[in-house]
A and B are shown apart, each in its own frame.
Chain A
């Protein structure tokens, strides 16, 4: 009898456990989600990397309604965008080939102050418009938010705010052509390249001399050298009057910043923090044997600027460089 009770107890426990297991493994029934009827929206930021003055921030703003049609779309920036800020009046979809295809849905955008608006000219209840906010000088070092608003024919309004986005303090100058013996004097303060005559006129701002030497005894090649560097690093160079500043610089290779080298797809971005943190205090004032994809971090003699100069391409006696520059004080 005692054994029977034990057996029943064990069997009940087993039954309970298996029923719990069965229940927990049971698939719940799937029901198709019901689309909300009210006006809806969603936004994404399409650009990556640091937000640099003069560069666009690109957004895609999607809006849809089940009943009625869309009437307008507005983007309102917390700081008015620079010249060139606009919203696409075409709604884009991605074709099977992967290409973005635009379909005109509204009148060209109108920008008034910080607000950019597209009014719909077709009867549509769903669209995705792109907004290009050109970062203005007024936003340097500040944060920017963008408020997107969609309106529908039945008076409904929906909004999404994107950001805040911190705008970088740094500047950028792309594709400066250097030529040995001609455009060879670089000013970081001016983010410009000068010939000897202009360099003499801007002597106080000349930080670097570009030169190319094809020597048989050593690999000199392309070089960036401070005017105040040891003359052995400036062979055959006669400096213009007053050009005598020094710098601190560090050679790097393969630091292909995506802003400076947009054709290189490495997803590397130099941002303000990189300039703030790099220590160049003990670095020399010359960098020789530079090649394509090489770069140099530079700090000016007065410590006012730090820069990253990237060699986009080189040829005999010539180079094309791009620069990011950060003002330290």
Chain B
């Protein structure tokens, strides 16, 4: 009898340990949750100067089909030192990450960012196209 109880206890313990160690929610290399969402787009975009004040003139035009973000910036904007801010659909992430001031001065070659969906299966690359407002 005693032996049977011990065996049962060991089995329960083993099952518990296995269940506890099992990964129930996968995360990616950034420690972000991988979900089942497949939406992959930019919902809004902001561009700040070194003074953390917006340099936009009007709203950014986001075209999710053409995968472009067109922004007109104020005359005199220092294009070499801007902070881009993306708002993405739920569970998406951005590549490359925005880590600080970004140089947008090469207007002929727009900067590109890739939006990756929540399930990490869909990737869409957006071009950020800047136009400087005339004086």
Chain A residues within CB distance 8 Å of chain B: 215, 217-220, 223, 232-233, 235, 250-253, 282-284, 286, 288-289, 294
Cα A114 to Cα B135 with chains together (Å): 59
Roughly how many angstroms separate A219 CA and B51 CA in the complex, as a whole number? 16
Q: Apart from A215-B135, A283-B50, what 14 extra A-B contacts exist at CB < 8 Å?
A: A217-B135, A218-B135, A219-B75, A220-B75, A220-B135, A233-B76, A235-B135, A250-B50, A251-B51, A253-B51, A253-B52, A282-B80, A282-B81, A294-B51
**B134 CB within 8 Å of chain A:** yes
Residue of B nearest to A250 (CB): B50
Residue contact B76 to A286, C-beta cutoff 8 Å: yes
Nearest-CB distance from A238 to chain B (Å)? 18
- Chain A residues, CB < 8 A from B50: 250-252, 283
Q: Contact: A253 with B53, CB < 8 Å?
A: yes
**Contacting residue for B133 out of A218, A251, A283, CB 8 A:** A218
Interface size of B by Cβ–Cβ distance < 8 Å?
14
Q: Is the interface of B mostly helix, strand, loop or mixed?
A: loop
CB pair A284 B78 closer than 8 Å: yes
Q: Which of B49, B52, B76, B81 contacts A220 (CB 8 A)?
A: B76
Which residues of B from 65 to 104 have beta carbons under 8 Å from A? 74-76, 78, 80-81
Verify B74–A219 contact, CB threshold 8 A. Answer: yes
Contact of A217 among B78, B80, B81, B134 (CB under 8 A): B134
CA distance A286 to B50 in the complex (A): 13
Q: List 14 A-B contacts (CB under 8 A).
A: A215-B135, A217-B134, A218-B133, A219-B75, A220-B75, A223-B76, A250-B50, A250-B81, A251-B78, A253-B52, A282-B80, A284-B80, A286-B76, A289-B74
